[in-house]
Structure 1
């Protein structure tokens, strides 16, 4: 399947060079075969924007499938798949923004982790709030994308639906939920010293109440 191939390719692209080299070194064709050390070619730089678009396309297709699927087993598999794609998307977004912040001076590994942890907390807070807000709102069905920019003090700089769900009520509901979360957690001091805003482009979807 194309989606599975993309998933494996994305994981390989985002793996550290050491991880890739170790994996190749530990898998000889024959266990007893002696190996001549091979010169490792430098890895080509990953086109992160292109990879991000491919992941976004996969998430969009997954969300559209969830809107019409009624089998509990298939819904579970689609949800699991969506979760994996979102994790990859988070990592790509983090690398894109860390890369932008590193143009003047590289970020340390500790600072990258601080940024990554903060980014995950933001996204998870939005997802939890949105999911819990859908109780009893079975008419809000659709899938779209949101663009959010947050300043260092946790205030919203920009918030809009970048790709409509096709359901105006759902679009407005999602934006209202996000606005109610303001102010978000302020940037950690070490992040604030290097980054003045963080951008989150994230999918949202509501499948309504499924018939048994």
Structure 2
């Protein structure tokens, strides 16, 4: 009687085979090892399929999470841009809509003086020339804010840059219009400040 101990390390299998001849013993041992190898192969394939299904489920869950995050970020960025646009649109509205012209007739006085005619008044101080470097006339440009989705999606990043550039262009145009209005008001005041004596005599004559 012949005897042989065979094992399969991956399956942690162990068996003692016996046969009447050495030839039969090797044939039986080889058949058992073949069975174990086939079982190990099927186990590896099952493990791979299970791992593939698990990875697929994880990937779908991750994609769903990223899509929800991207949507939330997009809504947040949209609200921020709308708020900034509204702020820029309303920033210069009061200055553009206000009538800055001075009604000099209202400021005249017609009171008769009991004493001799007063000496001509001094020239009205000329107001300061509008400062074009003031933030009202020279707004700071808006810088685009990028998140990790923008860095991955080039078209999204370029679209955000175009939107910010448009907002900056609109802000510059409105600031220039406000500066032109302020400069015109300053010019009017400059012209009137050069005629104090004429105004004083006309007041006295009208009295």
TM-score in terms of structure 2 length: 0.27
TM-score in terms of structure 1 length: 0.26
Q: State which structure, 1 or 2, has the greater radius of gyration over its C-alpha atoms.
A: 2
| Structure having the larger proportion of residues in helix | 2
| Structure having the larger proportion of residues in strand | 1
